[in-house]
Amino acid sequence: MRARLPVLLPLPLAAGAYDYRVPAGLAVAPGDVVRVPLGGREVLGVAWDGQADPDLAEGKLRDIRAVVSTTPLPANLRRFVEWVAAYTLSPPGAVLRMAISAPSAFDPAPTRIGWQRSASNGPKLTEARRKVLEALPPGAVLSTGELAAAAGVSAGVVRGMADAGLLQPAIIQAGNAFPRPDPEHPGPTLGAEQTAASLALREAAAERRFNVTLLTGVTGSGKTEVYLDAVAECLRRGRQALVLLPEIALSAQWLERFRARFGVDPALWHSELGSKTRANTWRAVAAGEVEVLVGARSALFLPFPDLGLIIVDEEHETAFKQEDGVVYHARDMAVVRARLEEAACVLVSATPSLETLTNAQSGRYRHLHLAERHGSAGMPRIELLDLRATPPERGRFLSPPLVEAVQATLARGEQAMLFLNRRGYAPLTLCRACGHRLRCPNCTAWLVEHRAQRRLQCHHCGHAEPIPTNCPECHAPGTLVPVGPGVERVVEEATALFPDARRIVMASDTLPGPAAARAAAAAISAREVDLIIGTQIVAKGWHFPHLTLVGVVDADLGLAGGDLRAAERTLQVLHQVSGRAGRAETPGRVLLQSFSPEHPVMQALLSGDLDSFLRAEAAGRRPGHWPPFGRLVALVVSSEEERAAERIARDLGLAAPRVEGVEVLGPAPAPLALLRGRHRRRLLLKARREVKVQEVVREWLARVAVPHNVRVQVDVDPVSFL
């Protein structure tokens, strides 16, 4: 046993692991969760691999106080923590914190005391006491309440028997709270195309070697059914499976499908779990008792001892990118974890990201494709409504052809959906007299009117204020007017146009939490609703069989702002929302309102030829070495003091690396130049694919001293450019 060991603390310390002494009599191995002193406190840490510094004076070392967990952090997870830290340029301790994000998992498990039969069996038993013994088989241990309920007697009877020595106290062993999903539970009969894909995925899951498969297919083609077969295969092999979903709160229908396929619920992991459930789940994952876990991106850092399969559903979703703390992309890190685990990874999407598609085309990933919708459902018919030719009435947002189509759909007793990716009533409030626009005091952003709550809100920092009656600038009364539509305004218009339709609004502020989303989905499936009006929530993987018309109020919305992936993302969300239409026998129809119907995104949606669109995107990015044909690292410099942010951004600009194949753009004020009261400047490093950007950036940052009031956030492979 070594006398000193490095211990990694779950804190954002740049130095990495600290050395501690292993006191005599304490057995500590790498991976053990330990308690160590730090300053005047005691903190949790993980005994790490590698050598402690032998030259460190004995007097500088402090003792490891205790080992607190019996299940060590698996070696693969330790390697993963190191890998993610190195790739994202984050302190390893900050990554470790995500891996032990259930601190109460290391508290001693509470012991529950119950009763078992004792040897002494008094001769004369009352009827009630006899029933208690009958309810307690030899060897079983039941709590007072359980035993009383099983015997149909009061708790007092049980306690009396204990006092009389007829029952003996014993520890109740915690059962496994995570029932086994049954891989042989019958699933649906797959079609020919689905069967072929299922077979290939099951083979991939059975390989016990690292492999990545991209599973594409139109919305409703059965991708979920197919990858659940891979989960079943993984279970047969006795390994654990992880399914990452972009928004677990919106996954009620997915969970129902899982239950139907495997007979039980999967274990869940997301930020809204209570601390007790978190602790139990963490422990059960570490003990190998959880066989399938479904979670948000943070589930990637759970201590699976034998992970055999990772599914990333809707792999193109930006929700997989974590933007604060450790900035990482869960889809990319899922591939890394699968490699370290010798596991299979399946990336699933109807509209894959150009990154993933490029990897499939170069042969790094396998590619399976489902070309047809399951059963008799065909793809919906997509039509463009040119808002220049058929504009809505003044002050309205639904054009006459869209209004007619909704009316006809409702008249047939079918469901219609209106989609606008913007919360609130109006994105901008303006003074008609002086032109003043109401903006957030903390952010470079307009305040969004939320009429139902009679408030103006900032969607970036949460700032809210009442709607003023006078213009704050020129003080004219009653001159403030809403400009542009938010989803609430579409609801208002729809209420006037279709007064008899039963409406539901699906937006993150009207459906807070999983229960509300589940109830909404159930009401829609049960045809208690005629018209669905919603923001991007409605574009998720819902299956609403009676929905036949989807109207997109502003198809151009995502195209503004020169984001590298604006067109790609607009295509993804519009394709997803279109895919909600006509999923059963009745054919679906999609109407896209646009001012630029000639735009390649609209044309790709119209023709259904997404491949050509992505090929054109690739051709546009390749020459300039934009991702995925080159690498980007963004630096965001921020401070409450504008001059400090400005100065450090300039220093970083002056110290920019002069390396072959590397170019630095900026510094420039970020589009969100002010966010939550912090002034922000951006620099963007663009490099050829073969450049080791982490090394370049590490050396770059080392050349600039950053004062305490300035933060420099590093974002490797940025998704957001705000």
Closest separation in Å from C-beta 577 to ligand ADP = 13
Cis bond leading into 628, ω under 30°?
yes
Closest separation in Å from C-beta 675 to Zn ion = 7
Question: Kind of pairing, strands 630-639 and 710-716?
Answer: antiparallel
Q: Rounded to an integer, what distance in angstroms lies between the CA atom of residue 207 and that of residue 205?
A: 6
Task: State yes or no: residue 261 binds ligand ADP (CB under 6 A).
Answer: no
Shorter beta-carbon distance to ligand ADP: residue 414 or 715: 414
Q: Which amino acid is at 242?
A: L
Q: How many CB atoms lie within 10 A of CB 643?
A: 9
Q: CB-based contacts of 25: which residues, under 8 Å, 6+ apart?
A: none
Task: State yes or no: residue 448 binds Zn ion (CB under 5 A).
Answer: no
Closest separation in Å from C-beta 377 to ligand ADP = 8
Selected from 543, 565, 680, 686, the binder of ligand ADP by CB under 6 A is 543
Q: Rounded to an integer, what distance in angstroms lies between the CA atom of residue 340 and that of residue 362?
A: 22
Task: State yes or no: residue 222 binds ligand ADP (CB under 6 A).
Answer: yes
230 interface partner picked from Zn ion, ligand ADP, none, CB below 5 to 8 A per type: none
Q: Rounded to an integer, what distance in angstroms lies between the CA atom of residue 34 and that of residue 22?
A: 11
Task: State yes or no: residue 191 binds ligand ADP (CB under 6 A).
Answer: yes
Closest separation in Å from C-beta 190 to ligand ADP = 5
Task: State yes or no: residue 194 binds ligand ADP (CB under 6 A).
Answer: yes
Angle at 470 between CA 466 and CA 475, to 5 degrees: 135
Q: Name the 3-class secondary structure at 293.
A: strand
Q: Rounded to an integer, what distance in angstroms lies between the CA atom of residue 10 and that of residue 105?
A: 15
Shorter beta-carbon distance to Zn ion: residue 645 or 691: 645
What's the 3-state SS for 337-376? Answer: HHHHHCCEEEEEECCCCHHHHHHHHCCCCEEEEECCCCCC
Q: Rounded to an integer, what distance in angstroms lies between the CA atom of residue 1 and that of residue 388?
A: 78
381 - beta bridge partners? 589
Name which of residues 353 to 392 contact ligand ADP (CB under 6 A). 374
Task: State yes or no: residue 188 binds ligand ADP (CB under 6 A).
Answer: yes
Task: State yes or no: residue 461 binds Zn ion (CB under 5 A).
Answer: yes
458 interface partner picked from ligand ADP, Zn ion, none, CB below 5 to 8 A per type: Zn ion
Residue 568-607 contact track with Zn ion, rule CB under 5 A, x = bound: ----------------------------------------
Comparing C-alpha atoms, which of 213, 192, 188 is closest to residue 202? 213
Q: Rounded to an integer, what distance in angstroms lies between the CA atom of residue 364 and that of residue 355?
A: 12
Task: State yes or no: residue 217 binds ligand ADP (CB under 6 A).
Answer: yes
Do 593 and 558 contact (CB within 8 A), yes or no? no
460 interface partner picked from Zn ion, ligand ADP, none, CB below 5 to 8 A per type: Zn ion
396 interface partner picked from ligand ADP, Zn ion, none, CB below 5 to 8 A per type: none
Q: How many CB atoms lie within 10 A of CB 469?
A: 9
Task: State yes or no: residue 224 binds ligand ADP (CB under 6 A).
Answer: yes
440 interface partner picked from ligand ADP, Zn ion, none, CB below 5 to 8 A per type: Zn ion
Shorter beta-carbon distance to ligand ADP: residue 190 or 673: 190
Task: State yes or no: residue 172 binds ligand ADP (CB under 6 A).
Answer: no
Comparing C-alpha atoms, which of 378, 375, 352 is closest to residue 192? 375
> Which H/E stretch holds residue 268?
strand 267-269
Shorter beta-carbon distance to ligand ADP: residue 575 or 678: 575
Selected from 52, 73, 440, 447, the binder of Zn ion by CB under 5 A is 440
Q: Rounded to an integer, what distance in angstroms lies between the CA atom of residue 595 and that of residue 708?
A: 48
Interacting stretch for Zn ion, rule CB under 5 A, among 188-196, 247-255, 440-448, 533-541? 440-448
165 interface partner picked from ligand ADP, Zn ion, none, CB below 5 to 8 A per type: none
* End-to-end C-alpha distance for the chain, whole angstroms: 51
Shorter beta-carbon distance to ligand ADP: residue 188 or 472: 188
Task: State yes or no: residue 522 binds ligand ADP (CB under 6 A).
Answer: no
Selected from 71, 90, 221, 351, the binder of ligand ADP by CB under 6 A is 221
Q: Name the 3-class secondary structure at 277.
A: helix
For residue 347 the two structure tokens come to 């990336």
Angle at 689 between CA 85 and CA 722, to 5 degrees: 65
Name which of residues 463 to 522 contact Zn ion (CB under 5 A). 463
Task: State yes or no: residue 132 binds Zn ion (CB under 5 A).
Answer: no
Q: Rounded to an integer, what distance in angstroms lies between the CA atom of residue 647 and that of residue 190?
A: 62
Shorter beta-carbon distance to Zn ion: residue 486 or 597: 486
Shorter beta-carbon distance to Zn ion: residue 226 or 448: 448
Closest separation in Å from C-beta 78 to Zn ion = 40
Task: State yes or no: residue 351 binds ligand ADP (CB under 6 A).
Answer: no
Shorter beta-carbon distance to ligand ADP: residue 194 or 638: 194
Closest separation in Å from C-beta 266 to ligand ADP = 16
Task: State yes or no: residue 558 binds ligand ADP (CB under 6 A).
Answer: no
442 interface partner picked from Zn ion, ligand ADP, none, CB below 5 to 8 A per type: Zn ion
Q: Which amino acid is at 121?
A: N
Q: Rounded to an integer, what distance in angstroms lies between the CA atom of residue 93 and that of residue 5?
A: 16
Residue 397-436 contact track with Zn ion, rule CB under 5 A, x = bound: ----------------------------------------
On the CB side of 571, how many CA atoms lie within 13 Å of its CA? 28
Question: Kind of pairing, strands 240-244 and 292-295?
Answer: parallel
Shorter beta-carbon distance to Zn ion: residue 38 or 461: 461
Give just the sign of the alpha carbon dihedral 433, 435, 438, 440.
negative
Q: Name the 3-class secondary structure at 510.
A: coil
376 interface partner picked from ligand ADP, Zn ion, none, CB below 5 to 8 A per type: none
Task: State yes or no: residue 514 binds ligand ADP (CB under 6 A).
Answer: no
Selected from 223, 278, 297, 489, the binder of ligand ADP by CB under 6 A is 223
Selected from 190, 199, 564, 655, the binder of ligand ADP by CB under 6 A is 190
For residue 217 the two structure tokens come to 């297919």
Comparing C-alpha atoms, which of 577, 602, 595, 605 is closest to residue 399? 595
How many residues of this chain bind ligand ADP (CB under 6 A)? Answer: 16
The b/e string for 358-370 (b: 16+ C-beta within 10 A; e otherwise) is bbbeeeebbbbeb
Comparing C-alpha atoms, which of 138, 203, 500, 486 is closest to residue 346? 203
Task: State yes or no: residue 443 binds Zn ion (CB under 5 A).
Answer: yes
The b/e string for 500-517 (b: 16+ C-beta within 10 A; e otherwise) is ebeebbbbbbbbeebeeb
Selected from 32, 82, 193, 225, the binder of ligand ADP by CB under 6 A is 225
Do 517 and 537 contact (CB within 8 A), yes or no? yes
Interacting stretch for ligand ADP, rule CB under 6 A, among 190-198, 271-279, 421-429, 705-713? 190-198
Binding residues (CB under 6 A) for ligand ADP: these are 188-191, 194, 217, 219-225, 374, 541, 543
Return residues touching Zn ion (CB under 5 A): 440, 442-443, 458, 460-461, 463
